[in-house]
Structure 1
Amino acid sequence: MARRNANGEGSIYKRKDGRWEGAAYLGTISGNVKRLRVYGKTRKEVHEKLTASLAQARQGMLLPDRTWKLAEYLDYWLDRAVNAERRPNTHKRYEVVVRLHLKPTLGRKSLQQLSVRMVEDFYKKLLAECASRNTVYQAKKVLSAALTHAMRQELLLRNVARLAEMPQYKPKEAQYWTAQETITFLSAAQSDPLYHALVLTVLYGLRRGEVLGIRWREIDFEKGILSIRQQIQRIDGKLQEVELKTDSSERDEPLLATARDVLMKQRSKQEAARLAAGADWLGAGTKDDLVFTTRTGNPIEPRNLYRSFHRIIEKHGIRRIKLHELRHTNGTAQKDLNVPASDTQAIFGHSSVATTRIYQHVSLSNKRNALEKVENYLFSQQFAEGEAGSRQRLPSGRQIYRRMVSPTSGGPTGIRTQDTWLKRPIRNTVNDHITSVDQVMQVRRRIWKLGCVAVKFAVKDHDLEVAT
């Protein structure tokens, strides 16, 4: 007679249709008790499934109050989590990824049944359908964020999107301008209607939405403070003033002399536009009081700043970079001027120094300076400048000693690997060292002989002077 399962172990029995079924009562997230049912072709298969579910329950994994398909949970996550915690444009980007990539392939899968293999196959399929590696990366990012939320809701024990390997993704390295290229651009941009906004973008490394969101009431000319508190974005077809990307993005910048000058000119320009517009001026008396507006007082479309920027560089033949890469240009300039990364972090409004370092690149001039220091340090002792040219300086006794005791030494011309004593005949090494010693000794013997001759002539001269 088969042993009866103890309380809490569940029960397994054969159904009329020939399949096996297992059942057990487990706790749910809401605090209730729910009967879990598992099915299989054999008793062993059902027993393994039931045992795994009971083990998860003992680890604290509770049953969901409902069975989630991935598509259903993604909609729930977008509506409840992303919509409440992220910016509108972020919600829009995530929704596009969910609708175009995640739902068609993985949407019908059970949330709890997602596996690493399923997700890896999804990545490969997406890449095979001519999607870029960046698209696959964005899909992984969104799926991982949704599954992390499910873990916080105690619906999952692990995030299979993080565990799954995806095709290697290397983002394109951002470009930046040199100081001379930046000066050339600013000189060429002086006649552009958005010149003042472009100057502040270059000077402070502002995002385009941030510079267009500056308000007059957030500028303290007496204390010399420029406050960044909001940004302009187009959401659902309308230009809106929205919060900044993160809490650390809200920051106070020093009002530099260049910024003060362009802001005063911008104020005069805006007043002239206000008078010209008359009753058509839409910005009059509003609480926003934006610094940069259209001829009728409306907020400026961020894409127009982008268009002005590229129109200038194409017209004047300046090397093409993205508007956002002016932020990289500013960060690299600060690095070249030895500004601490923590200070740049505060200026850019980043939440971590790691993010700031993405915007800082090593310029070619800095590379040249560093390598010239290495060149002077390593090679200045090997060559001495003579009156008629350069001649090789003979190695000193200390240098010869270091070569003899060093475990490795430079090998014959043409070898590719580092030449250790074990990779060439010891006889050659010893002969090379003996030759070097002989050269040094010959020089020292010559110096000694010349010294003796000089002393001898000096003694004779002294004897002649005494005799006379």
Structure 2
Amino acid sequence: MVKRANGEGTLSKRKDKSGKVIGWRAGVTVGYKPDGSQDRRWVSGKTQAEVQEKLRALQSEIHTGMLSDTEGLTVAAYLTRWYESKERAGVKPNTVQSYRDTGRLYIVPHIGRVKLEKLRPLDVEHMLSGMTKAGKSPQLLAYALRVLKMALRQAVRWQMLPRNVAEGITAPRFHRQEMQVWTAEQVAAFLDVSQEHRLHAVFYLALMTGMRRGELLGLKWRDIDWEKARLTVRNNLVAARYEAEEGRKLHGKPVLSKRELTLQTPKTAGSRRTIVLSPGTIAKLKEHQARQEAEKANAAEAWSCEGYVFASELGTPTDPRSLGRAYSHIVRKAGVPPIRFHDLRHTAASLMIHRKIPPKVVSERLGHADVAFTLRVYAHLYDDQREEAAFDLSDLFPRSGGAPN
């Protein structure tokens, strides 16, 4: 008997206990496993013609190199591998944890048990429909779909799937929350009240530079060049979330993630920047430095010499939650419209734009990737400047007798 080559396939009948033919089955050898046994793929159907058609399609995938090798993984098991690969690639801990949470809460409950190789576009639609019925927001649906697309894109690169079945699915449309900023008068009112707080300078610097919260809290005294009146953004202090140890509980409930203050590199390459400071900002920082020296003397040996500009009263990093509570208290006391701390960044951009600072300078000061992004985000703030762009030749040339000279 001549041995059949890999990929030729075998066709056989499927019978019940009584010997009655109930269908057909075909198998194809695609290689060998590490233990030396054959690695086979199977197709089945009710009729011989149906199975032969599936067999031809399977053989075509083998010959074109498009045969997937998912090792029988479910979507849930594959996502776990993907998260681990993101960690190894150096993706920020909070980003990886966001992927984990999205998978655990929204993807796995709907399609987690589906075999990766059998996942179809309709399964993805089923996931989105299930989230919609559960009352989840369009923004959340869009993000869950985005995470799934990224994960499946990697599966294609790993040659586990021939194509990304989620690519053809369109995310639901949603209206982004309108940007909220303070007027110059509201900024003045807020800063006036904040002077009572020991971290008044952090609020002042946020509004004068547009620095992100993590960049402000990660700033160290060595990052400030007093002589040239500028600072360099080198660090980003974040409350990173990591996967908690298995079996850990708090108040009788399982803990899924742990929180830890971590000093990271800035968000993007553009975020690593040097910012020129005004004389008023330099004065605020010097006042803050003198206040911190007094706190250091008071703390004595308990002081932690880590060099943070906006440290705690013991010199340790300031927890973003503590800063958030202080900020909310000052906002209420000042009687200004409540906006997020991150909106101080937008307010700073608004103040710069209204002072007619060129878009490129605004973009560099904020640490945006490019000026085009700045123009897109703050397009509505440039309305006044667009109106000024409508001019007549008479505005440029002296007129004599009704015509330009």
| TM-score between both structures, scaled by the size of structure 1 | 0.71
CA change 1:27–1:358 in 2 (3 A) is farther
Distance 2:70 2:171 in 1: 32
1:188-237, Cα deviation, whole Å (9 max, x unpaired):
32222221011111111111111010011122222333111112222333
Map of 1:15 onto structure 2? 14
| Stretch of structure 1 that moved more, 131-140 or 291-300 | 131-140
Q: 2:95 aligns with which of 90, 104, 113?
A: 90
> Which residue, 190, 193, 214 being the options, matches 2:195?
190
Give the Cα–Cα distance (whole angstroms) in 1 for the partners of residues 118 and 193 of structure 2.
59
Post-superposition shift, 1:75? 0.7
Distance 1:373 1:145, change over 3 A: closer
Give, as a single letter, the amino acid of the residue that structure 2 aligns with 1:144: K
- Contact 2:235–2:263, Cα closer than 8 Å, also in 1: yes
C-alpha deviation, 1:9, in angstroms = 4.8
Letter in 1 for 2:116: L
Tell me by how many angstroms 1:7 deviates. Answer: 7.6
**Which residue in the other structure is 2:317 paired with?**
299
Aligned match for 2:274, one of 227, 233, 252: 252
* 2:312 and 2:318 in contact (8 A); partners too: yes
Aligned residues of 1:342 and 1:353 also touching (Cα < 8 A): yes
Give the alignment partner of residue 332 of structure 2, picking from 306, 314, 322: 314
- 1:140 matches 2:139: no
1:370 positional shift: 5.4
The answer to whether the Cα contact below 8 Å between 1:29 and 1:63 also exists between their aligned partners in 2 is no
Q: State the Cα distance separating 1:77 from its structure 2 match.
A: 0.8
Partners of 1:151 and 1:14 in 2: CA distance: 34
Q: Is the 8 A contact 2:6 2:30 kept in 1?
A: no
1:26 has 2:30 as partner: yes
Cross-structure match for 2:226 = 221
Equivalence for 1:181:
186
Answer 1 or 2: higher relative contact order, Cα 8 Å, separation at least 6: 2
Q: Deviations over 1:37-62 (max 9, x none)?
A: 11222223323333333333344324
- My pick for the range that moved more, 171-180 or 94-103, is 171-180
* 1:313 aligned counterpart, secondary structure: helix
Distance 1:140 1:65 in 2: 21
| 8 Å CA contact 2:70, 2:160 repeated in 1 | no
Match status 1:332 vs 2:350: yes
Classify 1:249/1:29 alpha carbon distance in 2 versus 1 (closer, same or farther; 3 Å).
farther
Give the match for residue 397 of structure 2: none
Determine if the alignment matches structure 1 residue 209 to structure 2 residue 206: no
8 Å CA contact 1:14, 1:20 repeated in 2 = yes
Deviation at 1:123, TM superposition (A): 0.4
Structure 1 window deviating more from structure 2 (8-17 vs 94-103): it is 8-17
SS in 2 for 1:12: strand
Structure whose alpha-carbon radius of gyration is higher: 1
Residue 239 of structure 2 corresponds to: 234
SS at match of 1:350: coil
Match of 1:130 among 135, 138, 160: 135
In structure 2, C-alpha distance between the alignment counterparts of 1:335 and 1:147, rounded to whole Å: 41
Taking the aligned partners of 1:340 and 1:21, their CA distance within structure 2 comes to 70
The alignment yields a C-alpha RMSD, in angstroms, of 2.8
Counterpart selection for 1:270 from 292, 316, 323? 292
Higher-strand-fraction structure: 2
Unaligned runs of 5+ in 1: 378-468
- More off after superposition, 136-145 vs 330-339: 330-339
- Structure 2 distance, partners of 1:159, 1:308, is 46
Q: Following TM superposition, by how much is the alpha carbon of 1:312 offset from its aligned partner in structure 2, in angstroms?
A: 1.6
Alignment partner of 1:160 out of 154, 157, 165: 165
Asked if 2 retains the 8 angstrom alpha-carbon contact of 1:61 and 1:155, the reply is: no
Q: Which stretches in structure 2 are left out of the alignment for 5+ residues?
A: 17-21, 241-257, 393-405
**Contact (CA 8 Å) 2:68, 2:162: kept in 1 or not?**
no
Q: Match of 1:21, as an amino acid?
A: R
Q: Aligned pair in 2 of structure 1 residues 37, 323: CA closer, same or farther (>3 Å)? A: same
Change (3 A) 1:186 1:53: farther
Alpha-carbon distance in 2 for matches of 1:169, 1:12: 51
Whole-Å Cα distance in 1 between the matches of residues 296 and 319 of structure 2? 19
Give the share of equivalent positions with the same residue, in percent: 32
Task: Report the alpha carbon displacement of residue 273 of structure 1 after superposing the two structures with TM.
Answer: 0.3
The alpha carbon displacement at 1:255 in A equals 3.3
8 Å Cα contact 2:6-2:28 kept in structure 1: no
CA offsets 1:343-390 (integer angstroms, 9 cap, x no match): 333222233445434541424xx646756987x98xxxxxxxxxxxxx
Residue 28 of structure 2: SS of its match in structure 1? Answer: strand
The equivalent position to 1:279 in structure 2, one of 276, 301, 305, is 301
Match of 1:437 in 2: none
Determine whether 1:118 maps to 2:123: yes
Distance, in Å, in 2 between the alignment partners of 1:70 and 1:62 is 18
Shift of 1:8: 4.2
Cα deviation for residue 292 of structure 1 reads 0.9
Larger helix proportion of the pair: 1
Report the CA distance between 1:10 and its aligned residue: 3.1
Query: Does the CA-based 8 Å contact 1:215-1:289 persist in structure 2?
Result: yes
TM-score of the aligned structures, taking structure 2 as reference length: 0.81
3-state secondary structure, aligned to 2:40: strand
Query: CA distance change for structure 1 residues 256 and 28 in 2, over 3 Å: closer, same or farther?
Result: farther
* 109-118 or 69-78, larger mean C-alpha shift: 109-118
1:108 Cα deviation after fit: 0.5
What's the offset of the Cα at 1:131? Answer: 1.4
Instruction: Say if 1:150 and 1:156, in contact at 8 Å, map to a contact too.
Output: yes
Matched residue of 1:89: which SS? helix
* Residue type of the alignment partner of 2:316: N
Shift of 1:304: 2.0
SS in structure 2 opposite 1:95? Answer: helix
Distance in 2 of aligned mates of 1:330 and 1:301: 23
Aligned with 1:360 (options 363, 378, 381): 378
Would the aligned equivalents of 2:218 and 2:263 in 1 still touch at CA under 8 Å?
yes
Measure how far apart 1:276 and its partner are: 0.8
